[in-house]
Chains A and B, each alone.
Chain A
């Protein structure tokens, strides 16, 4: 009897008293509400402050459109390039052992700890008028800084780690066995990657791409330094928001911002789904195979295993 009491109180002992639970949950939810939900709601409230017409008007403005176009163009170039890099880096780091691997991994993590302003600055120092290639570029009338190429480069710098950092632990957890099996069966490197590795990393890839895209479209600090803020030409959506806001065109600013906020929500949704799929696969990986076939598949009579 006393053992039973001990067990019961042990179980009770691993959760807090109900009032503690409710209070902690309450505080956490209030905190989340204040810091996350309110700002999100504020974007839409301010955008619609003067009604739907003003909202639509703000988005139809030509400068807003060129900002939207430029943002999409930047993402369209940066994300695929970073995708190729991410896959190559993950393959290299996850599948082989070599000296300097941890240095490489640290280098890939670098943009996460560098301030976006510094990120933009370094490209100005290389390609700007006073930069290393400045005179050469001026001679050949190629504009990188204060033009679209500079924006794309700075965006690439800030966003390239996302896909790599997502794939590296995933591929490391999945191991090399399936790829080695494919090699023994006669597959070439490309066949192995395409038929064996790619399906296994698909959800990690989607997760990484969606985060990379969100950051690429939303990058502000680095692009701000590199772009020159030329209205209608070198303004991405975040920069356009800044300009509108500084001109006290509040509704227009929040209207454009609301598009970005919607993008963020879509990103979160896709991200959750991809995460859930990845977790499921990793869990299945860790489990030992059952000794009996799973019943859901109508085990017909037939040979015993």
Chain B
């Protein structure tokens, strides 16, 4: 051993700091490819939208996004999405509860079926819902004589949005329910709480973040939904025309500026929802991390 080549033992760090080297190779390659792909597929096209919007003057932009037809479509789109997401919260929680807590024959099939709206193409969902709810469909034929029309009007839109939003709530709440500590419920019961009290004061607060996240995700999906809605909607301007359809009709009339403007509004709302969802998800994670201590 050649000790003369070793540095002397010096009391303070005289050598400059060296950069940390990563043990696993491939950082530059994978980061580079990921960023490249994202730029190509996401950032450049999105920036085209933003730039195009800026070619409009403010009055032009304002006119495009606040025309009466457009405003009506906002009310419809957001209103229907809100109602559908709310219904999904109630029934989604119910379905998740039943799947996690109870046993019944065919449970595994029902569990798998929850993801059907994820796997089924939206157009197929659209035409089959229409077939069901139209005057001559199975359900439509039952309800129309009583004056309840569920197709070709906003009702149909809400139903379609309930369909596509269901898995979001169920799949967000299910894992939280599965991880919930039975001991908390047992403790509440020992202390004298009724089942309803235990649910409303102990269980519900612990799944509230997940419910909110599921609601936000179902809402976000519903706002942008196109394929499952346009068949059943009726698409009458001012009454049953959703915002994505407005974008398409402007495009068909070569009103690129108008289409871009409305699309920008939708994009901004998507971003906002995305941030909200991310925030809710990290809140949910913090909550569940605390619970598992």
- CA A36 to CA B166, docked complex, whole Å: 10
Within the assembled complex, what's the spacing in Å between the Cα atoms of A260 and B125?
Answer: 10
Q: Are A31 and B274 in contact (CB under 8 A)?
A: no
The interface bits of chain A over 120-145 (1 if a CB of B lies within 8 angstroms of the residue's CB, else 0) are 01111110001110000000000000
Is A54 an interface residue when CB atoms closer than 8 A count as contact?
no
State whether A121 touches B112 (Cβ < 8 A): no
A: contact size bracket? 35 or more
- How many Å from the CB of A190 to the closest CB on chain B? 8
Q: Is the CB of B120 within 8 A of A218?
A: yes
Residues of A within 8 A of B34 (CB): 85, 88-89, 92, 104
Interfacial chain A residues near B42, Cβ < 8 Å: 107, 110-111, 157
Question: Is the beta-carbon distance between B46 and A37 smaller than 8 angstroms?
Answer: no
Q: How far is the CA of A157 from the CA of B243 in the complex (A)?
A: 21
- For A40, give its contact among B33, B94, B114, B116 (CB under 8 Å): B116
Chain A residues at the B interface, C-beta cutoff of 8 Å: 6, 9-11, 13-17, 20-21, 24-25, 27-29, 31-32, 34-40, 42-43, 46, 84-85, 88-89, 91-92, 95-96, 98, 104, 106-118, 121-126, 130-132, 153, 156-157, 160, 176, 179-180, 183, 188-189, 192-193, 211, 214, 217-221, 224-225, 237-239, 241-242, 245, 250, 253-254, 257, 260-261, 263-265, 267-269, 271-272
Report which of A25, A34, A180, A239 forms a contact with B102, defined as CB distance below 8 A. Answer: A25
Give B residues with C-beta under 8 Å from A.
22-27, 29-31, 33-35, 37-38, 41-46, 48-49, 52, 91, 94-95, 97-99, 101-102, 104, 108, 110-125, 127-129, 131-132, 137-139, 159, 162-163, 166, 182, 185-186, 188-190, 193, 195, 198, 220-221, 223-227, 231, 243-244, 247-248, 251, 256, 259-260, 263, 266-267, 270-271, 273-274, 277-278
Q: How far is A241 from B237 in the complex, measured between Cα atoms in Å?
A: 24
Inter-chain contact B45/A125, CB cutoff 8 Å: yes
Q: Which of B52, B108, B124, B277 has a CB less than 8 Å from the CB of A113?
A: B277
B128 & A14 in contact (Cβ 8 Å cutoff): no
Q: Among A29, A39, A114, point to the contact of B128 (Cβ < 8 A).
A: A39
Knowing A92-B34, A188-B25, the reply to whether A225 touches B251 (Cβ < 8 A) is: yes
- B47 to chain A: closest CB distance in Å? 9
A237's nearest neighbour on chain B, judged by CB, is B121
| B128 and A92 within 8 A (CB) | no
